[in-house]
Structure 1
Amino acid sequence: MTFYDRGEELDALSSAFESPGSDVFVVYGRRRAGKTELLKEFCTDRPHIYFLAAQEAEHRQRAKFIDQVAAFFDDRTPRIDGWDEAFDYLGEKLQSEAVVVVIDEFPYLVAENDSVPSYVQGFVDEQLQETDSMLVLCGSSVSTMESEVLGHESPLYGRRTGQLDVQPFSFQQAREVIDYEMADAIRSYAITGGTPMYLTLFDYGRSLADNIRSQVLSPSAVLYNEPEFLLRTEFRNPARYLSILEAVALGHTTPNEISGATGIDAGPLSKYLQTLRQLRLIDREVPVTASAKKSKRSRYRVADEFLRFWFRYVEPNRSSIEEAPDIVYDGTIAPDLPMHVATAFEDVCQEAVWEGIRRGEFEPYSEVGRWWYGEDEIDIVGLAPSDDRILFAECKWTSDPVGTALVEDLQAKAGNVRWGPDERKERFALFSKSGFVEGLEDHLDEHWSLWNLAKMDNLLTPS
Structure 2
Amino acid sequence: MDKPVGMFDRDYEWSALTRFITDEQPGATLGVVSGRRRQGKTFLLDAACRAAGGFYFGATEAADAESLRRLSAALTAHARPATPYHFADWSEVLDALLALGSERPTPVVIDEFPYLARANPELPSLIQEAFRPMRDQRTTSRTRLLLCGSALSFMGRLLSGNAPLRGRAGLELLVRPLDHRLAAEFWEISDPALAIKVNAVVGGTPAYRREFARGDTPAGPEDFDDWVVRTVLNPETPLFREARYLLAEEPDLRDSALYLSVLAAVADGNATRGGMAGYLERKATDIAHPINVLEDAGLLHRDTDAFRDNRATYRISEPLIRFYHAIMRPVWDQLERPGSAARVWQASRRRFVSNVLGPHFEQICREWSLHHADPDLFGGLPARVGHGVVHDSKARTGHEVDVAVIGIADGGKPPLLAIGEAKWNDTMGIAHVERLRHIRDLIAASGRYDTTRTRLVCFSGAGFNDKAAAQARASSDVHLIDLPALYGRS
Same fold (TM over 0.5): yes
Report the aligned-residue RMSD: 2.2
From 65, 71, 83, the equivalent of 2:71 is: 65
* TM-aligned CA deviation for residue 280 of structure 1: 0.8
| Equivalent-residue separation in structure 2 for 1:361 and 1:178 (angstroms) | 29
1:204 alignment partner in structure 2: 217
Q: What is residue 448 of structure 1 aligned with on the other side?
A: 478
> Unaligned 5+ residue runs, structure 2?
392-397
In the alignment, structure 1 segments of 5+ residues that lack a partner are none
Contact preservation (8 Å) 2:429, 2:467? no
One-letter code aligned to 1:367: R
Selected match of 1:90 from 77, 97, 102: 97
Sequence identity, in percent? 28
The yes-or-no answer on 1:392 pairing with 2:410 is no
Residue by residue, what CA displacement relative to the aligned partner does 1:282-326 show, whole Å, maximum 9, x if unpaired?
0111212344xxx1x221111111111111001111112123111
- Do the aligned partners of 2:307 and 2:388 also contact (CA within 8 Å) in 1? yes
Find the aligned partners of 1:416 and 1:43 in 2 and give their Cα distance. 57
Equivalent residue number for residue 431 of structure 1: 459
Superposed displacement of residue 431, structure 1: 1.3
How far does residue 77 in structure 1 lie from its aligned partner after superposition? 2.2
Q: Larger deviation: 313-322 or 281-290?
A: 281-290
SS at match of 1:376: strand
Equivalenced residues, count: 453
Could you tell me which of 287, 300, 316 is aligned with 2:314?
300
2-structure distance, mates of 1:199, 1:83 = 38
8 Å contact kept, 2:209–2:216: no
Q: Does residue 267 of structure 2 align to residue 249 of structure 1?
A: yes
Q: 1:456 to 1:124 in 2, by over 3 A?
A: same
SS of the residue 1:4 aligns to: coil
- Indicate how the Cα distance of structure 1 residues 205 and 311 shifts in structure 2: closer, same or farther if over 3 A, else same: closer
- The 1:254/1:420 distance shift into structure 2, 3 A limit, reads closer
Alignment of 1:216-235 (within 5 A): 216-234=232-250, 235=253
- Kept in 2: contact 1:289–1:419 (CA 8 A): no
1:100 and 2:100 are equivalent in the alignment: no
Counterpart secondary structure, 1:45: helix
Q: TM-score, normalised by structure 2?
A: 0.87
CA, structure 1 residues 272+229, in 2 after alignment: closer, same or farther (shift >3 Å)? same
Q: What is the match of residue 15 of structure 1?
A: 19
Preserved contact between residue 36 and residue 176 of structure 2 (Cα < 8 Å): yes
Tell me which residue corresponds to 1:338: 353
Contact in 2 for aligned 1:285/1:298 (Cα 8 Å): yes
In structure 1, C-alpha distance between the alignment counterparts of 2:100 and 2:22, rounded to whole Å: 19
Given residue 55 of structure 2, which amino acid in structure 1 is its aligned partner? I
Tell me, yes or no, if the aligned pair for 2:268 and 2:326 is still in contact at 8 Å: yes
* 1:388 CA displacement: 3.5
1:362-381 counterparts in 2 under 5 A?
Answer: 362-364=378-380, 365-373=382-390, 375-381=398-404
> Secondary structure of the residue that 1:345 maps to in structure 2?
helix
Name the CA distance, whole Å, in 1 between partners of 2:431 and 2:375.
Answer: 30
Range moving further from structure 2, 365-374 or 183-192: 365-374
Paired residue for 1:164?
Answer: 173
1:389: how far off?
Answer: 4.2
**Deviation per residue, 1:8-31 (Å, 9 max, x gap):** 111011011112133311111233
How far 1:2 sits from its partner (Å)?
A: 5.0
Q: Distance in 2 between matches of 1:205 and 1:37?
A: 26
2:187 aligned to which of 178, 181, 186 = 178
1:18-167 alignment runs, 5 A limit: 18-21=22-25, 22-75=28-81, 76-125=83-132, 126=135, 127-147=137-157, 149-167=158-176
CA–CA distance in 2 between the matches of 1:299 and 1:394? 17
- CA contact under 8 A between 1:47 and 1:98: conserved in structure 2? no
> Following the alignment from structure 2 to structure 1, what is the Cα–Cα distance between the partners of residues 322 and 6?
26
What residue is the counterpart of 2:442 in the other structure? Answer: 416
1:160-185 residue CA offsets vs partner (Å, 9 max, x unmatched): 11111222221122122132211000
**SS across alignment from 2:464:** coil
Deviations along 1:307-361, whole A, 9 cap, x unmatched? 11111001111112123111001122x2333222111111221233234544633
| Amino acid of the structure 2 residue aligned with 1:445 | S
Q: What is the rounded CA distance, in whole Å, between the counterparts of 2:46 and 2:376 in structure 1?
A: 37
Change (3 A) 1:37 1:208: farther
**Cα offset, 1:393, TM superposition:** 0.8
Deviates more, 1:108-117 or 1:281-290: 281-290
Counterparts of 1:377 and 1:316, CA distance in 2: 28
The residue type equivalent to 1:371 in the other structure is G
Do structure 1's residue 261 and structure 2's residue 279 form an aligned pair?
yes
Who is 2:336 aligned against?
A: 322
Higher relative contact order (CA 8 A, sep 6+): 1
CA distance in 1, matches of 2:481, 2:99: 61
| Cα displacement (A) at 1:41 | 3.0
Alignment CA distance shift 1:407-1:205 (3 Å): closer
